[in-house]
Amino acid sequence: MNRSKAWLFMASVVIGTPTHGAPMPSPPRADAPMVSQIDLLHTSWTAREGAPTGITRIAQTPDGWLWLGSSSGLYKFDGVRFLRATGPEAPLSAGISGIGLLQDGTLWIGYKYGGVSLMRHGLMRHFRLDSPDTPAGTVFDATQDASGRIWLATGRGLHYLGPDFHWHRPAPSLKAPAVPILSILLDRRGVLWIRTATEVHALQNGAAAFDLRMKLKGAGGLAEHPDGSIWTTDIENPGIHMLSAPEQGPALAWRTDQAFQELAFDHEGYAWVTNPEGIVRLGNTSTGTPAQRFRTDQGMSGRSPSVLFEDREHNIWLATENGLDRFRLPRLRAVALPAYKHFSARPIAAGPGSSAWVDYSFVAGPGSPARPFTARPAYADTITALHRAPDGTVWVGGAGSQLWMAGNQGLQRIQAFPEIRATAVYALAQDKAGTLWVSMGRAGLYTLRAGQLKAGGGVPGLKKFPASALATDSQGRVWFGSVNNRLAVLEGGQLREYGRAEGLGVGTVMHMLPMRDGAWVGGENGLAYFDGRRFNPVEGWAGEPFTGITGITGMVFARDGSLWINGSDGISSIAPAELLKALRDPAYRVRFNRLDHRDGVVGSTSPILPVPSAVRSEDGTLWFSTTGGVYGLNPAKLIHNPLVPPVVITGMKSGADNHAVAEGMRLPAGTRMLSMDFSALSYQEPERMRFQYRLDGVDIAWRESDGRRSAYYTNLGPGAYRFRVIAANNDGVWNREGASLSFQIEPRATQTMWFRGLCGVALLGAVVGIFYWRTRRLAVRYRERMRERLAERERIAQALHDTLLQSMQGVILRFQGVAKRLPPDCDTRRLIAPILDQAGAVIDQGRQELLDLRTTSDQECDLAKSLGEFGRSLAEDLGPRFKLSVTGVEKPVNATASQAIYGIGREALFNAYRHAAAEHVDIEITHGRHHFVMAIRDDGVGIPDDVLRNAGRKGHWGVAGMHERAKALGGAIELRQREPKGTQVIVRLPAHRVYREPDASGPWIRLRMLSQRLGWRAGR
């Protein structure tokens, strides 16, 4: 609680002095304990980021929300946004003197001018001043004892809430101080502690009255240490004062000569205290940890620290008059090292155990002090490269092309090489044969063996090879990286070079990590895997290249198989499963974790030196070098956040209208755009949290948030929706259950079902009306066309009768006259007689055709009878036996279809009798519900293949005419060979085009058939 402010507030009320006149800090004493800056990660929020000013108290409720009571109202904070409490969560007044959490999870809110509120499950219960028993003084603090009784510390003494839900003063026998109570605390042993401006009293569990524990000079705080001891501070008396000893073990002591106001202990037992000079973190005398201070000039949000709080993720929160501050443990801390003279990062080499060589120092492990293994070199002797060979030899390279060996006696200089122009040693590597390879950059590549220096190692292709990186492997290969996408491998004396043609695109190769069948390659432009033939680039999720500005200068595998990469954007790690996916699918983008400035990493990789900037010690400790320091870590011991983040939906907005979030809510008609606000309550690194969301009924899959805690939807229609959101904390721990909200958008009158039904009925009526209108139009057009057709047929019939038939009749009469002149027993007369009979039959048939031309299309025709008579006549004259069969229920065929079918059948029969040389010819007529089918079959010689392919013979139109007649009726003809011999002609026609009364079992079928028929007729 803001107990110091509470005391200052009371003093201002009593003596009328302003509360903002903080005393000036006193100058430090010569014998004062050593003070350093707090070595935790710090973040601050001020009014610029939306933080309320004048925060008086901080609390965290069981649902995860961080609540801030301030002089401007009640707020809740999710780590990113400050949300003012409104609606059911709104307080009685904006002037809040304190808030806190009771043992049963209830949030209490006290007010400067009296009154108190209790909030549980998002609902407030207010105790207003208009009730005579409500405490009228300023509410400073509250707690709840084991019986559930709520105690209030107010400017008018102590109060408690009785079973009747009325506030009462303690009985006089309890001997509670009748003065302003500034703070109250219930410890783990059930002791109730209260503090006034000058005294501390305690009520033992089961005791009848309070007893005085300590007299003090000024205001201060009350706090319980993790060991169970109780402490207080006194703004007028230096130190932290113990009120009750721990449950077990010796009492703690704190080395400080300063007086403090606020007091809080974190989970590790460090004391956090405030005074006008800033905030101080104290370790007890047994830890040997020096005091650490943080002030305004170091980034604190204001000048007057007043409120301290530790949340359930062990973040420490500080409130000032101007905003809010957070302190949290870094994952990495740089090794304390002496100054480095070179402009780049320090060279490193892995050592035995968890150790490493760094520059000219040896570090036994992360957190260990650096021990120089040689005197600090002069600037001209600056160390630029380190390499620990497989045999344990530590090679050292430096400015001016100098080489040393590190040993118990420090650095042992290798003989000078005057033939090499002065430059720095870029990289070192010792191969399986014990040869040391030395890269001098553009000055050349050399080998050192038995004290002899050889340019390019005697390999012609390496004498002028400007190596930017070196690596060796257990197979005896030596790897050389260079600028402009060049890489070379020396194996068995053979040098193979690779470049852009093999897919290498990392720019300058800065580090290589050889594998059995290839290598991982890092450079200024990214990461790639070499499979022995080609280089396949590897990118991270969202296109991350792992390079930053200066590129990848170090890679190392951890013991679990994960790949760690040191790039200028931070230290990234890729899990083995992700690496396998990338190797199987070059287009796959890997998921990765990253350590950067948010984890305590300072600086970035150097653009040139050192290489490599990442190594692994024998026990698996990883070391990384940046321009800001050297970091050692054990991946298995990194700080991990196990908290499953609670997910909440915080708001819904449509246009300019904000809607209170409630399950099953109904939105007004016409709502088309929505924005959904959501959050997850994890405070270590809220900026690293991931969100996925979906709106059922709109999204077919989960959508990844782009960093915003809002989702936007447009063009929504009326109906029921369900919005869902899930989240992962900074370490990838997912809350898969997440949060959801069901809501409904009301339809407009024009969007309701009854309106749509009416529109459907109206549309159907319009369609039916148009259909009947169209039917009448088509019927009229059909009658007109039929009249035109009949007139044309009558004209043709008349012309044929007056010309062809009359002429033929004249010819026949002349032949009859000739025949009569011949003797009756003359052979010629006997030959002419049947010809005249046949000519007479042709004349009769012609007359019948002319009669048909003059008849209407509605004239009935017995199709089967006509085809039967024609087939039998052919059988009598030409020999093959004829058979006709009819299946199905016979229905009357309209005249147009009858003429067409008869023409098709007559042509098919005539072809069968004339060309097939068959013994049998059959016709089978099938009357179906949906189709009329006629099949003409014979067992003759079959139909030629060219006739099948071309649908007839060239220059002959019989088969073509058959197809035309069938197509005119909307049908088709199939001609095919029969097995084992013969030909089959199948005619398939739609029933509604053949029969005078289509077979329809319902109105919709009749309507469809009628529309199809009319459509066909209109098309004709």
User: DSSP letters along 33-64, please?
Assistant: PPEEE--SEEEEEEGGGTPPSSEEEEEE-TTS
**Do 857 and 895 touch, CB atoms closer than 8 A?**
yes
907 Rama sector, left if φ>0, alpha if ψ -120 to 50, beta otherwise:
alpha
Nearest to 113 by CA among 89, 143, 134: 134
Which residue in the block uniquely carries the two structure tokens 């001209």? 380
- For domain 347-633, give its CATH number from 3.40.50.2300, 2.130.10.10, 3.40.50.970, 3.30.365.10: 2.130.10.10
Separation CA 725–CA 678 (nearest Å)? 8
Q: Sort 771 into a burial class: Cβ within 10 Å, 0-12 / 13-18 / 19+.
A: middle
| Number of alpha carbons in the 13 Å side-chain half-sphere of residue 101 | 19
Separation CA 326–CA 336 (nearest Å)? 24
Nearest to 701 by CA among 726, 672, 673, 733: 726
**Exposure b/e, 690-703, CB count within 10 A at least 16 = b:** bbbbbbeeeeeeee
For the chain, the C-alpha Rg in angstroms (whole number) is 51
Separation CA 387–CA 470 (nearest Å)? 11
> Length of the chain, please?
1020
Domain 863-993, CATH: 3.30.565.10
Peptide bond before residue 980 is cis, with ω within 30 degrees of 0: yes
Find the helix or strand (DSSP H, E) in which 309 lies.
Answer: strand 307-310
Separation CA 330–CA 40 (nearest Å)? 6
Tokens of 57: 């108290």
Separation CA 320–CA 868 (nearest Å)? 113
Nearest to 504 by CA among 521, 490, 517, 491: 521
Separation CA 713–CA 757 (nearest Å)? 28
Separation CA 669–CA 655 (nearest Å)? 13
Q: What ranges do the domains of the chain cover?
A: 347-633, 647-744, 752-795, 863-993
- For domain 647-744, give its CATH number from 3.30.70.2740, 2.60.40.10, 3.40.50.620, 3.10.620.30: 2.60.40.10
Cβ neighbours, 10 Å, residue 845: 10
Number of alpha helices (DSSP H) and beta strands (DSSP E) in the chain: 11, 70
Peptide bond before residue 823 is cis, with ω within 30 degrees of 0: no
Q: What is the 3-state secondary structure (H, E, C) of 797-825?
A: HHHHHHHHHHHHHHHHHHHHHHHHHCCCC
| Number of alpha carbons in the 13 Å side-chain half-sphere of residue 1009 | 20
Per-residue pLDDT at 543? 78
**Exposure b/e, 654-686, CB count within 10 A at least 16 = b:** beeeebebeeeeebeeebeebbbbbbbbbbbbb
Tokens of 396: 């050292």
**pLDDT beneath 50, residues of the chain:** 1-33, 855-860, 999-1005, 1009-1010, 1013-1020
Sheet hosting strand 383-388, strand order edge to edge: 383-388, 394-398, 402-407, 410-413
Q: Sort 13 into a burial class: Cβ within 10 Å, 0-12 / 13-18 / 19+.
A: middle
Find the helix or strand (DSSP H, E) in which 490 lies.
Answer: strand 486-491
Q: Sort 997 into a burial class: Cβ within 10 Å, 0-12 / 13-18 / 19+.
A: exposed
Nearest to 593 by CA among 612, 609, 572: 572
Which residue in the block uniquely carries the two structure tokens 């196990």? 642
- DSSP tag of 172: G
Per-residue pLDDT at 41? 94
**Do 750 and 674 touch, CB atoms closer than 8 A?**
no
| 267 three-state secondary structure | coil
Which residue in the block uniquely carries the two structure tokens 């994890």? 682
- DSSP tag of 862: -
Find the helix or strand (DSSP H, E) in which 445 lies.
Answer: strand 445-449
Per-residue pLDDT at 453? 82
Long-range contacts of 499-507 (CB under 8 A, 24+ apart): 502/533, 502/534, 502/535, 503/528, 503/534, 503/535, 503/536, 503/537, 504/528, 504/530, 504/535, 505/535, 505/537, 506/535, 506/537, 506/551, 506/552, 507/483, 507/551
First to last CA, the chain: 95
Nearest to 388 by CA among 344, 358, 433: 358
Nearest to 513 by CA among 493, 542, 492, 538: 538
- DSSP tag of 637: G
Tokens of 236: 């007028």
Per-residue pLDDT at 946? 75
**Do 948 and 911 touch, CB atoms closer than 8 A?**
no
Where are the strands (E) in 14-128, listed by range? 35-37, 41-46, 55-60, 66-70, 73-77, 82-84, 96-101, 107-111, 116-120, 123-127
Tokens of 270: 């460090």
Residues paired with residue 279 on neighbouring β-strands, in sequence order: 274, 294
Find the helix or strand (DSSP H, E) in which 582 lies.
Answer: helix 576-584
Nearest to 333 by CA among 361, 291, 367: 367
Tokens of 45: 């929020």
State residue 959 phi and psi, 5-degree precision.
Answer: -65, -40
Separation CA 730–CA 246 (nearest Å)? 36
Separation CA 628–CA 625 (nearest Å)? 8
